[in-house]
A and B are shown apart, each in its own frame.
Chain A
Amino acid sequence: GQNIDQPTEMTATEGAIVQINCTYQTSGFNGLFWYQQHAGEAPTFLSYNVLDGLEEKGRFSSFLSRSKGYSYLLLKELQMKDSASYLCAVPSGSARQLTFGSGTQLTVLP
Protein backbone atom coordinates (compact mmCIF):
# COMPACT_ATOMS: atom_id res chain seq x y z
CA GLY A 1 0.00 0.00 0.00
CA GLN A 2 0.86 3.66 0.05
CA ASN A 3 1.58 5.95 3.00
CA ILE A 4 2.10 9.69 2.65
CA ASP A 5 3.05 12.20 5.32
CA GLN A 6 3.08 15.97 5.12
CA PRO A 7 2.79 18.71 7.76
CA THR A 8 -0.73 19.77 8.65
CA GLU A 9 -0.18 23.52 8.71
CA MET A 10 2.42 26.11 7.78
CA THR A 11 2.50 29.89 8.00
CA ALA A 12 4.69 32.28 6.01
CA THR A 13 4.93 35.95 5.16
CA GLU A 14 4.09 37.58 1.86
CA GLY A 15 7.19 37.80 -0.34
CA ALA A 16 9.00 35.00 1.51
CA ILE A 17 9.94 31.47 0.42
CA VAL A 18 8.32 28.37 1.90
CA GLN A 19 9.13 24.68 1.51
CA ILE A 20 6.42 22.05 2.01
CA ASN A 21 7.77 18.56 2.58
CA CYS A 22 6.24 15.22 1.73
CA THR A 23 7.53 11.75 2.58
CA TYR A 24 6.03 8.65 1.05
CA GLN A 25 6.19 4.88 1.19
CA THR A 26 4.90 3.03 -1.81
CA SER A 27 5.11 -0.52 -3.13
CA GLY A 28 5.81 0.64 -6.67
CA PHE A 29 6.83 4.12 -7.72
CA ASN A 30 5.05 5.85 -10.60
CA GLY A 31 5.86 9.45 -9.88
CA LEU A 32 4.58 12.04 -7.43
CA PHE A 33 2.05 14.81 -7.87
CA TRP A 34 1.48 18.12 -6.13
CA TYR A 35 -1.94 19.73 -6.23
CA GLN A 36 -3.18 23.06 -4.90
CA GLN A 37 -6.64 23.36 -3.39
CA HIS A 38 -8.23 26.64 -2.35
CA ALA A 39 -10.97 26.48 0.28
CA GLY A 40 -14.24 25.28 -1.21
CA GLU A 41 -12.69 24.53 -4.59
CA ALA A 42 -11.37 21.56 -6.53
CA PRO A 43 -7.72 20.50 -6.46
CA THR A 44 -5.69 21.84 -9.38
CA PHE A 45 -2.50 20.33 -10.77
CA LEU A 46 0.82 21.96 -9.88
CA SER A 47 3.56 19.48 -10.74
CA TYR A 48 4.53 15.91 -11.51
CA ASN A 49 7.95 14.42 -10.74
CA VAL A 50 9.07 10.99 -11.82
CA LEU A 51 12.86 11.48 -11.92
CA ASP A 52 15.15 12.71 -9.16
CA GLY A 53 15.89 16.39 -9.05
CA LEU A 54 14.30 19.79 -9.14
CA GLU A 55 11.69 20.92 -11.64
CA GLU A 56 10.96 24.62 -11.81
CA LYS A 57 7.77 26.19 -13.05
CA GLY A 58 7.62 29.93 -12.44
CA ARG A 59 7.39 30.70 -8.72
CA PHE A 60 6.80 27.02 -7.92
CA SER A 61 9.42 24.26 -7.91
CA SER A 62 9.15 20.61 -6.95
CA PHE A 63 11.94 18.29 -5.88
CA LEU A 64 12.06 14.51 -5.75
CA SER A 65 14.45 12.01 -4.18
CA ARG A 66 13.30 8.47 -4.94
CA SER A 67 15.98 6.85 -2.77
CA LYS A 68 14.81 8.83 0.26
CA GLY A 69 11.08 8.66 -0.47
CA TYR A 70 10.98 12.42 -0.21
CA SER A 71 9.63 15.37 -2.14
CA TYR A 72 9.16 19.04 -1.48
CA LEU A 73 7.27 21.90 -3.04
CA LEU A 74 9.04 25.25 -2.99
CA LEU A 75 7.02 28.43 -3.32
CA LYS A 76 8.92 31.66 -3.93
CA GLU A 77 7.81 35.29 -3.68
CA LEU A 78 4.74 34.28 -1.75
CA GLN A 79 1.51 36.07 -2.52
CA MET A 80 -1.71 36.21 -0.51
CA LYS A 81 -3.43 34.11 -3.17
CA ASP A 82 -1.02 31.25 -2.37
CA SER A 83 -2.94 30.62 0.86
CA ALA A 84 -4.37 27.19 0.16
CA SER A 85 -4.00 23.51 0.95
CA TYR A 86 -1.16 21.71 -0.86
CA LEU A 87 -1.70 18.04 -1.52
CA CYS A 88 1.01 15.48 -2.17
CA ALA A 89 -0.17 12.36 -4.05
CA VAL A 90 1.28 9.19 -5.52
CA PRO A 91 -0.33 7.13 -8.29
CA SER A 92 -0.60 3.35 -8.23
CA GLY A 93 -2.50 0.54 -9.87
CA SER A 94 -3.67 -0.02 -13.41
CA ALA A 95 -5.54 3.29 -13.53
CA ARG A 96 -2.82 5.21 -11.72
CA GLN A 97 -5.37 6.06 -9.07
CA LEU A 98 -4.06 8.60 -6.58
CA THR A 99 -3.34 8.17 -2.89
CA PHE A 100 -3.26 11.59 -1.25
CA GLY A 101 -1.60 12.92 1.84
CA SER A 102 -3.82 14.82 4.25
CA GLY A 103 -2.66 18.13 2.81
CA THR A 104 -0.67 21.06 4.18
CA GLN A 105 -2.70 24.19 4.89
CA LEU A 106 -0.51 27.18 4.03
CA THR A 107 -1.45 30.59 5.37
CA VAL A 108 0.31 33.61 3.89
CA LEU A 109 0.33 36.63 6.17
CA PRO A 110 0.76 40.26 5.04
Chain B
Amino acid sequence: NAGVTQTPKFRVLKTGQSMTLLCAQDMNHEYMYWYRQDPGMGLRLIHYSVGEGTTAKGEVPDGYNVSRLKKQNFLLGLESAAPSQTSVYFCASTLPRRDSGKSSYEQYFGPGTRLTVT
Protein backbone atom coordinates (compact mmCIF):
# COMPACT_ATOMS: atom_id res chain seq x y z
CA ASN B 1 0.00 0.00 0.00
CA ALA B 2 1.95 3.00 -1.32
CA GLY B 3 -0.64 5.65 -0.37
CA VAL B 4 -0.36 8.75 -2.58
CA THR B 5 2.55 8.93 -5.02
CA GLN B 6 3.61 11.76 -7.33
CA THR B 7 5.73 11.77 -10.45
CA PRO B 8 8.19 13.41 -11.00
CA LYS B 9 9.77 14.58 -7.74
CA PHE B 10 11.71 17.41 -9.35
CA ARG B 11 11.50 19.20 -12.70
CA VAL B 12 13.02 22.27 -14.31
CA LEU B 13 11.16 23.81 -17.26
CA LYS B 14 11.83 26.71 -19.55
CA THR B 15 9.15 29.35 -19.99
CA GLY B 16 6.59 28.19 -22.53
CA GLN B 17 7.25 24.46 -22.14
CA SER B 18 4.52 22.07 -21.13
CA MET B 19 4.43 19.16 -18.72
CA THR B 20 2.10 16.84 -16.85
CA LEU B 21 2.33 15.93 -13.18
CA LEU B 22 0.94 12.53 -12.24
CA CYS B 23 -0.73 11.68 -8.96
CA ALA B 24 -1.71 8.13 -8.11
CA GLN B 25 -3.42 6.68 -5.03
CA ASP B 26 -4.11 3.06 -4.14
CA MET B 27 -6.57 3.66 -1.29
CA ASN B 28 -9.72 3.69 -3.45
CA HIS B 29 -10.35 7.32 -2.50
CA GLU B 30 -13.11 9.20 -4.29
CA TYR B 31 -11.87 12.76 -3.88
CA MET B 32 -8.53 14.04 -5.13
CA TYR B 33 -6.93 17.49 -5.03
CA TRP B 34 -4.01 19.47 -6.39
CA TYR B 35 -2.42 22.19 -4.24
CA ARG B 36 0.53 24.44 -4.71
CA GLN B 37 2.69 25.69 -1.85
CA ASP B 38 4.68 28.91 -2.03
CA PRO B 39 6.80 30.47 0.74
CA GLY B 40 4.69 32.45 3.19
CA MET B 41 1.41 31.61 1.46
CA GLY B 42 0.49 28.16 2.69
CA LEU B 43 -1.15 25.60 0.42
CA ARG B 44 -3.64 26.83 -2.16
CA LEU B 45 -6.09 24.65 -4.05
CA ILE B 46 -5.66 24.51 -7.83
CA HIS B 47 -8.23 21.92 -8.96
CA TYR B 48 -10.07 19.03 -7.42
CA SER B 49 -12.14 16.00 -8.37
CA VAL B 50 -15.00 14.24 -6.61
CA GLY B 51 -14.86 11.16 -8.79
CA GLU B 52 -13.73 9.56 -12.03
CA GLY B 53 -14.49 11.82 -14.97
CA THR B 54 -15.23 14.92 -12.87
CA THR B 55 -13.06 17.96 -12.15
CA ALA B 56 -13.62 21.42 -10.71
CA LYS B 57 -11.66 24.65 -10.25
CA GLY B 58 -10.16 25.65 -6.95
CA GLU B 59 -8.75 28.94 -5.73
CA VAL B 60 -5.90 29.33 -8.27
CA PRO B 61 -6.79 27.37 -11.44
CA ASP B 62 -5.43 29.72 -14.15
CA GLY B 63 -2.66 28.22 -16.27
CA TYR B 64 -3.48 24.63 -15.22
CA ASN B 65 -5.67 21.84 -16.52
CA VAL B 66 -6.55 18.51 -14.94
CA SER B 67 -7.99 15.16 -15.88
CA ARG B 68 -9.36 12.22 -13.89
CA LEU B 69 -9.79 9.42 -16.42
CA LYS B 70 -9.25 6.70 -13.82
CA LYS B 71 -10.31 6.78 -10.20
CA GLN B 72 -6.79 6.21 -8.92
CA ASN B 73 -5.07 8.88 -11.05
CA PHE B 74 -5.31 12.66 -11.13
CA LEU B 75 -3.19 14.52 -13.68
CA LEU B 76 -2.17 18.19 -13.53
CA GLY B 77 -1.07 19.82 -16.78
CA LEU B 78 0.77 23.02 -17.50
CA GLU B 79 0.30 23.93 -21.15
CA SER B 80 2.70 26.89 -21.26
CA ALA B 81 4.80 27.19 -18.12
CA ALA B 82 5.53 30.61 -16.60
CA PRO B 83 8.02 31.59 -13.87
CA SER B 84 5.04 32.35 -11.59
CA GLN B 85 4.30 28.62 -11.60
CA THR B 86 7.56 27.86 -9.83
CA SER B 87 6.30 26.12 -6.71
CA VAL B 88 5.95 22.86 -4.83
CA TYR B 89 2.90 20.91 -5.97
CA PHE B 90 1.09 18.51 -3.66
CA CYS B 91 -1.57 16.03 -4.54
CA ALA B 92 -3.98 14.76 -1.89
CA SER B 93 -6.87 12.34 -1.66
CA THR B 94 -9.62 11.46 0.78
CA LEU B 95 -12.44 9.03 1.38
CA PRO B 96 -15.14 10.65 3.51
CA ARG B 97 -15.88 8.55 6.59
CA ARG B 98 -17.77 8.71 9.83
CA ASP B 99 -15.86 8.12 13.03
CA SER B 100 -17.57 8.17 16.40
CA GLY B 101 -20.56 9.97 14.90
CA LYS B 102 -18.65 12.70 13.11
CA SER B 103 -17.69 12.93 9.47
CA SER B 104 -14.07 13.33 8.54
CA TYR B 105 -12.47 14.32 5.29
CA GLU B 106 -8.88 13.74 6.38
CA GLN B 107 -6.68 14.27 3.35
CA TYR B 108 -3.62 12.17 2.62
CA PHE B 109 -0.83 13.99 0.82
CA GLY B 110 1.73 12.84 -1.71
CA PRO B 111 5.44 13.69 -1.29
CA GLY B 112 5.28 16.71 -3.62
CA THR B 113 6.82 17.82 -6.90
CA ARG B 114 9.30 20.69 -6.92
CA LEU B 115 8.90 22.61 -10.16
CA THR B 116 11.17 25.42 -11.28
CA VAL B 117 10.33 27.47 -14.37
CA THR B 118 13.19 29.57 -15.74
Task: Please give the residue numbers on chain A whose beta carbons come within 8 Å of chain B beta carbons, in ascending order.
Answer: 8, 30-31, 33, 41-45, 48, 50-51, 87, 89, 91, 94-103
Residues of chain B contacted by A100 (CB below 8 angstroms): 42-44
Please state if B40 and A42 are interface contacts (CB–CB under 8 Å). no
Across the interface, B43 reaches (CB within 8 A) one of A41, A48, A98, namely: A98
Is B16's CB within 8 Å of the partner chain A? Answer: no
Q: Looking at the assembled complex, report how far the CB atom of A31 sits from the nearest CB atom of chain B, in whole angstroms.
A: 8
Residue of A nearest to B38 (CB): A102
A42-B58 in contact given A100-B42, A101-B42 (Cβ < 8 Å): no
Contact assessment for B110 and A42 in the assembled complex, using a CB-CB cutoff below 8 Å: yes
Total interface residues on B, using CB and 8 Å? 28
| Main DSSP-derived SS at the A contact region | loop
Asked if B33 lies at the interface with its beta carbon under 8 angstroms from chain A, I say yes
Would you call A43 and B43 a contact (CB within 8 A)? yes
Write out, one digit per residue, whether chain B residues 67-110 have a CB within 8 A of any chain A CB (1) or not (0).
00000000000000000000000100010100000111111111
Establish whether residues A45 and B102, one from each chain, have CB atoms under 8 Å apart when the complex forms: no
Given A87-B42, A102-B41, A96 and B105 touching (CB < 8 A)?
yes
Chain B interface (Cβ < 8 Å from any Cβ of A): 31, 33, 40-45, 48-50, 56, 58-59, 90, 94, 96, 102-112
Flag if B94 contacts A96 (CB, 8 Å): yes
B106 touches A98 (CB 8 A): no
Give 7 nearest A-B pairs by CB, closest first: A96-B105, A42-B109, A100-B42, A102-B42, A100-B43, A95-B50, A95-B31
Smallest distance from the beta carbon of B42 to chain A beta carbons, Å?
A: 4
Q: Are A33 and B106 in contact (CB under 8 A)?
A: yes
Please, how many angstroms separate the alpha-carbon atoms of A74 and B102 in the complex? 22
A56 to B78, CA, bound (A): 42
The CA-CA distance from A91 to B41 in the complex, in Å, is 17
